[in-house]
Amino acid sequence: MKKYLLVSMITVGMLLMSLASVQAADKNFKFGYIDLQKVMALSAQGKIAKGKMQARQEELRGSLQKKQAEISAMKEELERQGMMLSPEKRKEKETTYQKKVRDFKIFVSDSEKDMKALEGEFLKKMLKELEVVTSEFGKKGKYQLILEKRSGIIFADDGYDVSDELIKAYDKWAAANQKK
């Protein structure tokens, strides 16, 4: 891991030094970087995705709480009536309780998988859209290079951060493409 980080840092450093020399030699050379997480969080599409995920999470949370309340009620009833029940009836209620607990654990696991799949779906869609938007943005802005901030840039002057402009371009692109 440390080796990978060191190699990444050296590579990015060399890239930035070569970019600086290219930019010094060619005044028309233009580059920038974006903070992908910022773009995804602050763009209209990112906010819509976050809202949908939160709504789904609240829906699942409600179902989980309901199921958990049922299980707690069953457990309390079993503890209260346990000594008064016949061994067969007690065993039947315990089996039903254990089945509910197993079903609850499966539901929790399935809910987590569902949320991860939903997040992955939104992420994949946004990344695909951002690839198109960034390409268009770069061509219109006459950029020769646009880097992603978290992919190895250790330091870059804020003047080269084009995240806010990309958010505006993405919002405009998304609005135009949703009308189609």
CATH of the domain at 123: 3.30.910.20
Confidence band for 4, pLDDT divided at 50, 70 and 90: low
Q: Is residue 55 over pLDDT 90?
A: yes
Question: Which pTM does this prediction carry?
Answer: 0.70
Dump pLDDT digits (tens) for 109-131. 999 999 999 999 999 999 999 99
Domain count, the chain: 1
Residue 112 sits in which domain range? 2-179
Confidence band for 38, pLDDT divided at 50, 70 and 90: very high
| DSSP letters for 119-164 | HHHHHHHHHHHHHHHHHHHHHHTT-SEEEETTTT-----GGGB-HH
The DSSP element (H or E) to which 180 belongs, if any, is: none
